[in-house]
């Protein structure tokens, strides 16, 4: 399972694990892969504390940080004079209140008090300025990778990373996006298929990965629909130098996933996810729930807002819904959802993150052995030979 990207990043296995949970990041890094912490969940000060925690536990082993730099964000996010929650239309607030009532969820109005200040802070993290601020914090730590999701890395961010000797990875859903990301300074491309959790495009991993491999001259990681060794072997056979996994860590022992959501994931099939704008304003794959159904299909729905306004509206409500679902509220249990890919149908037991890594490696080896038996030992994962 050693590829060139292992040498580049100093890891044993070309397995990159995206997670918002520092425990998962540290566990995967210590198991020989490379954990990547999602920074959007944290303020600069919080991120610094999380990275200090990781530094103390990984003993100098490599890990990365992921920031969200979407294109097409509502211009209000960059306006420091605007109060973002004040920009959410009344009919969208009323619709959330309507959903609380319809599902019998007795919760306070989610847009008052400290939530207003917090919303402004979170909403501005998805701008180039906000992401660069998080990158500034990350580069004070011994990270090996900065990943940019949803849009090309801002020039200042790419320049700072390059000056610090830190590689920049970029997530893409099309070949054209891959070319743009390389032109913007990306050193590694993560080709993410539509099966993936979170923000995805419409092209499947099996189709996307070989096209991206052929289109760019930098290493490519495959993402979307990868949660076991057989899928990792398939990714390398498509020409990827490694895999980027996110969903599989959500049901690990260390995961930050709410208990109510984790139970839903463990019981879900691969048909129980949907790409919906209802959580962030951009298409993002998540568990199908009453929340996604009501926003996308109900006659009363005003329709999702653009990012970051829909993200603030949804997260303010979902924070309360999640707590109520964990306490046993049945209506909240119907509404609660979280980002996850179609591999949720394979995620039917709780394991330590380290064990997920080891299981994936063992199954990868078994898959390669089967292929060698079929081909008489003539197959080598990686880029196809040039003609």
In a domain, 347, yes or no: no
Structure tokens at 305: 């807002």
Please count the residues of the chain. Answer: 387
Q: Is the pLDDT of residue 226 over 80?
A: yes
Domain holding 55, by residue range, is: 4-74+127-248+352-370
Q: What is the pLDDT of residue 218?
A: 97
The Cα–Cα gap between 135 and 168 comes to 11
Instruction: Output the average pLDDT for the chain.
Output: 90
Q: Which of 3, 26, 89, 12 is nearest to 353 (CA)?
A: 26
Task: Let me know the angle formed at the C-alpha of 38 by 33 and 40, rounded to the nearest 5 degrees.
Answer: 170
Q: What is the pLDDT of residue 83?
A: 75
Same domain? 52 vs 148: yes
CA separation, residue 247 to residues 18, 53, 60, 187, 335 (Å) = 8, 23, 26, 24, 20
Same domain? 181 vs 53: yes
In a domain, 340, yes or no: no
Same domain? 93 vs 183: no
Query: What region, left, alpha or beta, does residue 165 occupy, with left being phi > 0 and alpha being psi -120 to 50 degrees?
Result: left
Q: What is the CATH number of the domain that holds 167?
A: 3.20.20.70
In a domain, 344, yes or no: no
Q: What is the pLDDT of residue 382?
A: 53
Same domain? 166 vs 184: yes
- Mean pLDDT within 55-62: 97
pLDDT tens-place string over residues 132-182: 888 999 999 999 999 988 777 778 888 899 999 999 999 999 999 999 999
Q: What is the pLDDT of residue 38?
A: 95
Q: What is the pLDDT of residue 386?
A: 46
The Cα–Cα gap between 302 and 294 comes to 10
In a domain, 380, yes or no: no
Q: What is the pLDDT of residue 40?
A: 85
pLDDT tens-place string over residues 335-354: 999 999 999 999 999 999 99
How many domains is the chain partitioned into structurally? 2
In a domain, 55, yes or no: yes
Same domain? 62 vs 41: yes
pLDDT tens-place string over residues 229-287: 999 999 999 999 999 999 999 999 999 999 999 999 999 999 999 999 999 999 999 99
Same domain? 282 vs 237: no
Same domain? 139 vs 197: yes
pLDDT tens-place string over residues 90-104: 999 899 999 999 999
Same domain? 281 vs 142: no
In a domain, 67, yes or no: yes
Same domain? 18 vs 161: yes
Q: What is the pLDDT of residue 128?
A: 66
Q: Which one is predicted more confidently, 93 or 16?
A: 16
pLDDT tens-place string over residues 72-89: 555 665 566 667 778 889
Q: Is the pLDDT of residue 47 over 50?
A: yes
Q: What is the pLDDT of residue 387?
A: 39
Give the percent of the chain with pLDDT over 70.
88
In a domain, 346, yes or no: no
Q: Which one is predicted more confidently, 298 or 384?
A: 298
In a domain, 342, yes or no: no
Same domain? 233 vs 277: no
- What's the pTM? 0.91
Q: Which one is predicted more confidently, 112 or 164?
A: 164
Q: What is the pLDDT of residue 385?
A: 47
Same domain? 95 vs 222: no
Same domain? 284 vs 221: no
């Amino acid at each position: 399972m050693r590829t060139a990207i292992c040498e580049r990043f100093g890891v044993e296995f070309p397995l990159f694990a995206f997670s918002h949970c520092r425990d998962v990041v540290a566990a995967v890094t210590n198991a020989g892969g490379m954990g990547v912490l999602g920074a959007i969940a944290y303020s600069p000060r919080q991120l610094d504390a999380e990275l200090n925690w990781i530094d103390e536990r990984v003993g100098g082993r490599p890990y990365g940080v992921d920031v969200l730099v979407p294109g097409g964000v509502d211009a209000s996010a960059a306006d420091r004079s605007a109060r973002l929650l004040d920009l959410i239309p009344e009919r969208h607030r009323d619709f959330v209140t309507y959903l609380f009532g319809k599902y019998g969820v007795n919760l306070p109005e989610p847009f008052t008090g400290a939530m207003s200040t917090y919303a402004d802070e979170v909403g501005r993290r998805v701008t180039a300025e906000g992401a660069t601020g998080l990158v500034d914090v990350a580069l004070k730590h011994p990270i090996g990778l900065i990943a940019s999701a949803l849009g090309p890395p801002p020039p200042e961010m790419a320049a700072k990373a390059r000056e610090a000797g830190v590689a920049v990875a970029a997530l893409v859903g099309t070949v054209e996006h891959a070319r743009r990301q390389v032109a913007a300074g990306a050193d590694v491309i993560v080709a993410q298929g539509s099966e993936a959790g979170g923000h995805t495009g419409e092209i499947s991993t099996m189709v996307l990965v070989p096209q991206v491999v052929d289109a760019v001259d930098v290493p490519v990681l495959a993402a979307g629909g990868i949660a076991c060794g057989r899928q990792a072997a398939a990714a390398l056979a498509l020409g990827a130098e490694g895999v980027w996994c996110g969903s599989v860590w959500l049901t690990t022992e260390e995961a930050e996933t709410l208990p109510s959501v984790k139970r839903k994931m463990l019981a879900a099939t691969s048909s129980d996810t949907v790409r919906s704008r209802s959580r962030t304003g951009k298409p993002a794959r998540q568990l199908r729930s009453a929340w996604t159904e009501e926003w996308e299909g109900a006659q009363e729905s005003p329709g999702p807002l653009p990012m970051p306004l829909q993200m603030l509206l949804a997260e303010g409500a979902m924070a309360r819904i999640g707590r109520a679902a964990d306490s046993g509220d049945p209506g909240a249990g119907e509404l609660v959802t979280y980002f996850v890919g179609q591999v949720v149908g394979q995620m039917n037991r709780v394991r330590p993150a380290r064990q997920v890594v080891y299981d994936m490696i063992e199954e990868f080896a078994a898959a390669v052995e089967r292929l060698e038996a079929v081909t008489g030992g003539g197959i080598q994962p990686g880029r196809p030979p040039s003609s």
